[in-house]
Amino acid sequence: MAAIQLLALPAGAVALAAVARRRGWPAPLLLVVAGLLVSFVPGVPVYALDPEIVLLVFLPPLLYSAALDSSYQRLRDVKRAIGLLSVGLVLFTTAVVGLVAHLLVPSLPLAAAFALGAIVAPPDAVAAVAVARRLGLPRRVITVLVGESLFNDATALTAYRVAIAAATGHGITLLGGVGEFLYAAAGGLVIGLAVAWAVSQVLARVRDALVENTIMLMIPFGSYLAAEVVHASGVISVVVVGLYVGNRMHRTGFGTRLLSDAVWRVTDFFLETVVFALIGLQLHAIVMGVLDDEDPWTLAGYALAVFGAAVLARVVWVLPGTFLPWALSRRVRARESRPPWAEATIISWAGMRGVVSLAAAFAIPEDFPGRNLLLFLTFAVVIGTLLLQGLSFPALIRRLRVSTEREAYADNLAEAGAQQAAARAGLERLEEVAQREGLAELYPDILDQLRGKSERRTLNAWERLGGGTGPEGEETPGAVYRRLRREMLSAEREVFVRLRDARRIDDEVLRRVMQELDFEEAILERP
């Protein structure tokens, strides 16, 4: 029975996520709401969130995948914004929420209130990335949000440990807290670089797509544990390894890259669906734990005030932090154009919290002062930001008329120019080899096919600038080619399947030829 209950959570979460994807609904929000409702259904088991499982099983692979898919160059371009958010905003939110909570509940020690502030300070990597990418935000906005979510957990968890230590009487000082933060960050960076170097040496010698991706599945867990063992930041260690490996993925074989993309897309989808469902399922246990000590209306007032403080702290920090450096620094103005106010508004509203905050709250010691209240207030901020900001995000973007059309056109233009330069280099190499080996007279048809393939790829890149249609709306030659080739591939598959069913070819042969056809169709289907 326990095994069935354990399977019911991921099975139900995946089913809901599938419905959301088909309908075009935001899957994270649907999963959270479903979890909230299900948590009060009689007979549903109580799913207790184990902070160790979240911080070891869920967080490292999700952070690693986000870092793997990030651009080191783009992150470096917005490092000032990321630093202001992942360090400055986290500490500012910790202070604001902590002071508000202490003023609301004078019996709550100030150190405990600051622990609450540190818990709810960091927007969640999972929520931020999932919502931002689904909405198709401009690249710079996504880069800032991803960079913030990659690094802010390290600041928040360090501040959380300092506040917990102070509240439990371990006598930590402000200077000691700063030292612990610097040690955690530097230690995580050093360990991440060491693991990244070691992994790159191993991967350079393996050259087996299956083995390489199996090793990469273990990297985030190994990197996280290596840092945590010496009390450094496992989060920074995982992020550093992910950025390093992602920046060098072009050096691996094509099979490794294709398999890696599939592996991490499936891993992200599964872990994210379970994480958001778990968030909603915590409601019943948390509410029951706090209602014995507090009046429901008083609790609602506390929750509203802390939620408002967390949301407003981000707005108050982001808007001045975006425009003041540009206005006050001549050096910044020389390097950067004026920040678009619409993008700053979007970043200020992208403060969805998630499972890391809940995991930190559940990790509070059982005898900690006001533990049940802190759990409830954390849950209120997490659910409030996910629902209010998550649901209003699309409307805000439409209202601000944020568009990526110019960015997409620039990408297509740059790609077309690069494709043309690459095709020219490829054709020059082809002619060089053909002349050196005397192939022009022996295999003229093969050379013509290779020349045509190169020219067709270049043509496709230029056609994308027009959206795949001609000036009168007619199909371009490249679009006609792709449509007709897809029809041919469909007919070829039917023949192979029919021959397999007739026992004229083996399943192994079918799988091999299907893979070849699938690779070709994947190229044709490239957006």
pLDDT in tens, 144-167: 988 998 899 889 988 998 888 888
63-72, 185-194, 212-221: segment of lowest average pLDDT: 63-72
Q: What is the mean pLDDT of residues 28-51?
A: 83
Confidence of residue 317 (pLDDT cuts 50, 70, 90): very high
Count of H-run helices and E-run strands, the chain: 26, 0
CA gap 475, 132 in Å, rounded: 33
Q: Bridge partners of 110?
A: none
Confidence of residue 417 (pLDDT cuts 50, 70, 90): confident
What is the tens place of the pLDDT at every residue in 468-510? 555 555 666 777 777 888 888 888 888 888 888 988 888 888 8
What is the tens place of the pLDDT at every residue in 271-300? 989 988 988 888 877 877 787 667 888 899
Confidence of residue 195 (pLDDT cuts 50, 70, 90): very high
| Distance in Å from the first CA to the final CA of the chain | 46
CA gap 32, 34 in Å, rounded: 5
Contacts of 277 (CB under 8 A, 6+ apart): 9, 12, 13, 16, 31, 32, 34, 35
Nearest C-alpha neighbor of 62 from the set 160, 128, 139, 159: 128
Question: Residue 369: what pLDDT?
Answer: 84
DSSP assignment of 28-56, as one string?
HHHHHHHHHHHTTSTTPPP----HHHIII
Q: What is the mean pLDDT of residues 360-364?
A: 89
Q: In 446-463, which positions are buried (b, 16+ CB within 10 angstroms) versus exposed (e)?
A: ebeeeeeebeebbbbbbb
Confidence of residue 130 (pLDDT cuts 50, 70, 90): low
Q: Is the pLDDT of residue 419 over 80?
A: no
pTM for this prediction: 0.83
Q: What is the largest CA-CA distance in the chain?
A: 91
What is the tens place of the pLDDT at every residue in 425-451? 888 888 888 888 888 777 888 888 888
Q: Is the pLDDT of residue 196 over 60?
A: yes
Question: Is the distance from CB of 523 to CB of 485 less than 8 angstroms?
Answer: no
Question: Residue 316: what pLDDT?
Answer: 96
CA gap 92, 98 in Å, rounded: 10
**Sign of the four-CA dihedral 277, 279, 284, 285:** positive
